[in-house]
């Protein structure tokens, strides 16, 4: 039978609350489909760990989890304890970069039972994939401050795009489009950001030429965001830089009702390093500790993990499908958490989904 | 009587079609309220001019229009003729920078008669102002390409934030908040963009301390976009960097039904240089030349111009109010263009609004 080692990192805030429900669903699915999962529970990569140790992770973090088959991640961040840029650059963003998880794959799908905030949209109307570059671009650590504390003070922040990094995310996205509806939208802002974005457009045109059967267009990020609201049904695959992908993958799921459902895979498609699976929603300290967070994004992320481990095939794919079916049934029949108009707690929703699996 | 000189720049695409309607409305309002407007019609700053002259504007553009009291601007851009970054950096973005129009003010308001794409939102539910930094930040011309054409190729694009530029936009926004509901949201992305954005947050905290009566919070741009869709009623003033303001000011108006209504003022509040007023929608070459573009954003922009010229007072304010009232009546009673479900042409809508004024 298949056996995988999973590093489990709950993190902060509601990450700690949704993780047990992710594991509960995984346990049910792995039992049913004969997959053996060995969990390595990690208690670092949290703001509490930082307050105690002055760093987010132990120095040997890479040795500790680098051998895992995948990482299941809750959420990191609690700005009242540690500034976000310190907690995130010291954990999640480090994983993405050092494990070369250069694809961040994020579905946006409107399910039955979930009311869309958009007027007149029903289940099936919205169903697209956002492919986000995940290691470079606008999220760079290059830059600095000059004339600090004076009137002349200014700060520089470099965006860095490599040919290597840009081509591989575009190719991944065009490959994906080829397996789906053979159409793709490339997010850009070349009218305003005049050096890097025209260059990005040129890379897109080059890669597009390798896929003559895929219909593509490019759209500036401002109007693209507007169209997510006005015409969400016209998208199938959207590929974007790190920052634009970040924005689109909160906005897309918001259009499908709640960001409490949206999962994501931070993928190292080369499989040299473990990939990381996490809900899009983040740690939400404002609602933490009250058992009201929606566990579905976590459960769906765990399902994505199995599917990636099985290469989209085999018992892993079956387990993924069963988990997603259980989620869809729960959305239709309840119980639901408050963000979806229900009254159930995190645990109750998690248990109901695990039972269905 | 009051007399102003207005530089009129239609530009490209639907800019050329909506401009006459902006002028028609202005003529009606200025006649009624005794304001004398002298138009200086400019035939450069268009892609056709570029094709003929190899540049977007004549070398003495600043001398030609620098003495105007304001600039009324249609839209620039026609990517099939000239790449966007060339046409825009050669015109609009040059005006913003060289005339130090450091505020881009953009209202988002849901009017009666305009169906929102958001479920269950009605007129009055959405009414906020976006204050966008308009001269620096992510729109910089600093950067370049290295190892071009090789596998090692990469591109750098600098974002540049000055203390001067950041403080003044924040102060403008907090001043505005003080005149409105005394609450403001600062857009950021300090968890991901780790040098400039924490610095921006620190500037926001400093300025906020000068306004103890204004309630403020900061939100990361990803979740902020999601909340524009999920809870648009919770915003009153939103202040943002150049790029984030660009995104939010397409998304906000999209949530109010159509970006065909949204006006903007590129303001030089010091009044050392002319300010520029333009619709948010752009040149839309795909629908140009068919008399179907909505002229309302242009008309509303012209109204904003009068109001700014009059410092929010006097006959100019009255003229502004009359123009906006005519727009609101037209939205309620028609005629409407296709984007709002009507069948009327650009001219017909413009004429009906001018008649009402
Ligand atoms: C045309 C483009 C350069 C411009 C911008 O990004 O500023 C436009 O989108 C706007 O919002 O005025
Ligand atoms: C927490 C933050 C750094 C992160 C990001 O911006 O990538 C999050 O918003 C996400 O989308 O995964």
Domain ranges of chain B: 1-101+268-357, 103-261
Name the DSSP letter for residue A69. S
Does the domain at A1-102+268-357 match CATH 3.40.718.10? Answer given as yes
What pLDDT is recorded for position A35?
97
Task: Considering the domain delimited by B103-261, tell me its CATH architecture.
Answer: 3-Layer(aba) Sandwich (3.40)
**B249–A151 CB contact, under 8 Å:** no
pTM: 0.96
CA-closest candidate to residue B46, choices B72, B25, B67, B16: B16
Token digits of residue A95: 């994983």
What pLDDT is recorded for position A1?
64
Residue B35 distance to chain A (closest CA, Å): 36
Q: From the CB of residue A122, how many other CB atoms can be counted at a distance below 10 Å?
A: 12
The answer on pLDDT for B5 being more than 70 is: yes
Q: Which residues contact B219 (CB under 8 A, 6 or more apart)?
A: B185, B186, B187, B188, B227
Measured over the CA atoms of residue B166, residue B167, residue B170 and residue B173, the dihedral's sign is: negative
- CB B160 within 8 Å of CB B192: no
Distance, in Å, from the CA atom of B110 to the CA atom of B128, rounded to the nearest integer, reads 9
Ligand nearest to the CA of B92: 1
The mean pLDDT value of chain B amounts to 97
Q: How many CB pairs under 8 A join A and B?
A: 210
Task: Classify domain A107-259 at the CATH topology level.
Answer: Isopropylmalate Dehydrogenase (3.40.718)
What pLDDT is recorded for position A50?
98
Q: Give the burial class of A234: count Cβ atoms within 10 A of its Cβ; 0-12 exposed, 13-18 middle, 19 or more buried.
A: exposed
pLDDT bin (cut points 50, 70, 90) of residue B1 is: low
**A246–B154 CB contact, under 8 Å:** no
Do B1-101+268-357 and B103-261 share a fold?
yes
Task: Classify domain B1-101+268-357 at the CATH topology level.
Answer: Isopropylmalate Dehydrogenase (3.40.718)
Q: Verify whether ligand 1 is closer than 6 Å to residue A192 (CB atom).
A: yes
Q: Verify whether ligand 1 is closer than 6 Å to residue B323 (CB atom).
A: no
For chain A (357 residues), the mean pLDDT of every run of 10, in chain order, is: 93 98 98 97 98 98 97 97 95 97 97 92 94 97 95 97 98 98 98 96 98 97 97 96 98 92 97 97 95 97 98 97 97 94 96 98
Report the Cα A46 to chain-centroid distance in Å.
18
- CB B224 within 8 Å of CB B187: yes
Q: How far is the CA of B4 from the centre of ligand 1 (A)?
A: 27
Q: Where are the alpha helices (DSSP H) in A12-113?
A: 14-33, 47-53, 61-65, 84-89, 92-98
The predicted-structure confidence for B107-131, as pLDDT tens digits, reads as follows: 999 999 998 999 999 999 999 999 9
What pLDDT is recorded for position B72?
98
Closest Cβ–Cβ partner in B144, B249, B259 for A195: B144
Find where tokens 């009250």 sit: A290
Q: Which residues contact A183 (CB under 8 A, 6 or more apart)?
A: A177, A214, A215, A216, A236, A237
What pLDDT is recorded for position B2?
85
The predicted-structure confidence for B185-203, as pLDDT tens digits, reads as follows: 999 999 999 999 999 999 9
Ligand 2 pocket by Cβ (under 6 Å): A 77, 88, 246, 280, 282; B 191-192, 222
What pLDDT is recorded for position A185?
98
Which positions in chain A touch B246 (Cβ < 8 Å)? Answer: 189, 192, 221-222
Q: Which residues contact B177 (CB under 8 A, 6 or more apart)?
A: B183, B184, B211, B214, B216, B236, B237
Distance, in Å, from the CA atom of A314 to the CA atom of A234, rounded to the nearest integer, reads 32
Of chain A, the percentage scoring pLDDT greater than 70 comes to: 100
**B226–A199 CB contact, under 8 Å:** no
Nearest CA in chain A to B247: A222
Q: Which residues contact B214 (CB under 8 A, 6 or more apart)?
A: B174, B177, B178, B182, B183, B184, B208
Name the DSSP letter for residue B266. E
Find where tokens 């008309």 sit: B299
When pLDDT is averaged across residues B323-351 and rounded to a whole number, the result is 96
Q: How far is the CA of B247 from the centre of ligand 1 (A)?
A: 9
**A154–B145 CB contact, under 8 Å:** no
Q: How far is the CA of A283 from the centre of ligand 1 (A)?
A: 33
Cα–Cα distances in Å, from B93 out to B52, B88, B103, B242? Answer: 21, 6, 13, 11
The predicted-structure confidence for B253-306, as pLDDT tens digits, reads as follows: 999 988 889 999 999 999 999 999 999 999 999 999 999 999 999 999 999 999
Ligand nearest to the CA of B85: 1
What pLDDT is recorded for position A258?
86
Residue A55 distance to chain B (closest CA, Å): 16
Q: How far is the CA of B313 from the centre of ligand 1 (A)?
A: 29
State the pairing for strand pair A237-240/A275-279.
unpaired
**B155–A160 CB contact, under 8 Å:** yes
What pLDDT is recorded for position B258?
86
């Amino acid at each position: 039978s298949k056996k995988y080692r999973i590093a489990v990192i709950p993190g902060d805030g509601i990450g700690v609350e949704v993780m047990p429900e992710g594991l509960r669903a995984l346990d049910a699915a792995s039992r049913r489909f004969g997959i053996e999962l060995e969990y390595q529970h990690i208690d670092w990569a949290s703001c509490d760990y930082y307050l105690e140790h002055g760093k987010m992770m132990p120095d040997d973090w890479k040795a500790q989890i680098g051998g895992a088959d995948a990482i299941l991640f809750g959420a990191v961040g609690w700005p009242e304890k540690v500034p976000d840029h310190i907690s995130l650059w010291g954990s999640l963003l480090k994983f993405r970069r050092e494990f070369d998880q250069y694809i961040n794959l994020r579905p946006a799908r409107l399910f039955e039972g979930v009311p869309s905030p958009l007027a007149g949209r029903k289940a099936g109307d919205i169903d697209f994939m956002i492919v986000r570059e995940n290691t470079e671009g606008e999220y760079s650590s290059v830059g600095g401050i000059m004339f600090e504390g004076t009137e002349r003070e200014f700060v520089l922040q470099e965006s860095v795009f490599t040919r290597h990094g840009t081509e591989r995310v575009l190719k991944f996205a065009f490959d994906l489009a080829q397996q789906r509806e053979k159409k793709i939208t490339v997010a850009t802002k070349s009218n305003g950001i005049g050096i890097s974005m025209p260059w990005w457009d040129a890379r897109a045109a080059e890669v597009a030429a390798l896929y003559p059967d895929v219909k593509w267009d490019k759209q500036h990020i401002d109007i693209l965001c507007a169209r997510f609201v006005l015409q969400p049904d016209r998208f199938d695959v959207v590929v974007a830089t790190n920052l634009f992908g970040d924005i689109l993958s909160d906005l897309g799921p918001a259009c499908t009702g709640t960001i409490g459902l949206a999962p994501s895979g931070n993928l190292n498609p080369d499989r040299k390093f473990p990939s990381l699976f996490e809900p899009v929603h983040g740690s939400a300290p404002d609602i933490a500790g009250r058992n009201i967070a929606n566990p579905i994004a976590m459960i769906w992320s765990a399902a994505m993990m199995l599917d990636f481990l099985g290469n989209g095939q085999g018992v892993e794919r079956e387990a993924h499908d069963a988990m997603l079916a259980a989620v869809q049934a729960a959305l239709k029949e309840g119980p639901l958490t408050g963000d979806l108009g229900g009254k159930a707690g995190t645990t109750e929703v998690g248990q109901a989904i695990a039972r269905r699996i």
